[in-house]
Amino acid sequence: MAMIACPLCGKQISDQAPLCPGCGHPVKPPRPCGHSWLLGCGCLLSAFFTFLLMVIIALLFWIGCSLQSPFDEDLDPDSMTSTTAFDEKRYQCQANMEEITLLKEEWATAHAAKSGGIITSSEAEKLFAEVATKLVCPLDPERSLKTSYDVGRLGEPPRCKCAETHNDPDDDEK
């Protein structure tokens, strides 16, 4: 180990010392790392991977939050099931009434009947003979067309006898 003079203060120090103990001046210039300028000494690469990791964590957090319903705590599974079932029954009932309307229009066209005319009970029986068992309100315990719907005059929509709310148009139809 040889002694050399500090280039700044002139004090004798070891040639192995990186800094002068008296003034703190670097004795040896720092060794260049063997990496390319892009990687530096790993600083640029580690910063890139840190940034990438933060983006991935933020993305996973965002996906996790978007999948969770904001009202999870307030939901009552029992009330949700009954509401869903009611909506399905209402939908089915309204679909049945649309089918009745179409059948009435077909009958009126075939018989050259005018709007406001009445279909006699015997004609109604013939008209609905094939589909009457299908066209019943899901809330009708008797499962009969006569107890489910008031067919009405030509040009007028049929009415559900089982649930008045089934006669109201959906919100998107208003």
Within-domain flag for 50? no
d(CA 35, CA 41): 6
Q: Which domain holds residue 162?
A: 88-173
- Stretch 146-153: mean pLDDT: 84
Within-domain flag for 78? no
Give the whole-number percent of the chain exceeding pLDDT 70: 75
Q: Are 116 and 155 in contact (CB under 8 A)?
A: yes
Q: Is the pLDDT of residue 106 over 80?
A: yes
Mean pLDDT for the chain? 77
* pLDDT the model gives residue 174: 43
What's the Cα-to-Cα distance from 1 to each of 20, 21, 96, rounded to whole Å? Answer: 15, 16, 103
Q: How confident is the model at residue 152 (pLDDT cuts 50, 70, 90)?
A: confident
Within-domain flag for 140? yes
Side-chain-side CA neighbours of residue 145 (13 Å) = 20
With b for 16 or more beta-carbon neighbours within 10 A and e for fewer, the 99-122 pattern comes to ebbebbeebbeeeebeeeeebeee
Report the predicted TM-score, pTM, of the whole model to 2 decimal places.
Answer: 0.47
DSSP letter assigned to residue 11: -
Q: Are 8 and 23 in contact (CB under 8 A)?
A: yes
Element (H, E) at 93: helix 77-110
**Count of domains for the chain:** 1
Within-domain flag for 115? yes
Specify which of 13-27, 78-92, 129-143 reaches the highest per-range mean pLDDT.
Answer: 13-27
d(CA 174, CA 24): 84
- Stretch 33-45: mean pLDDT: 60
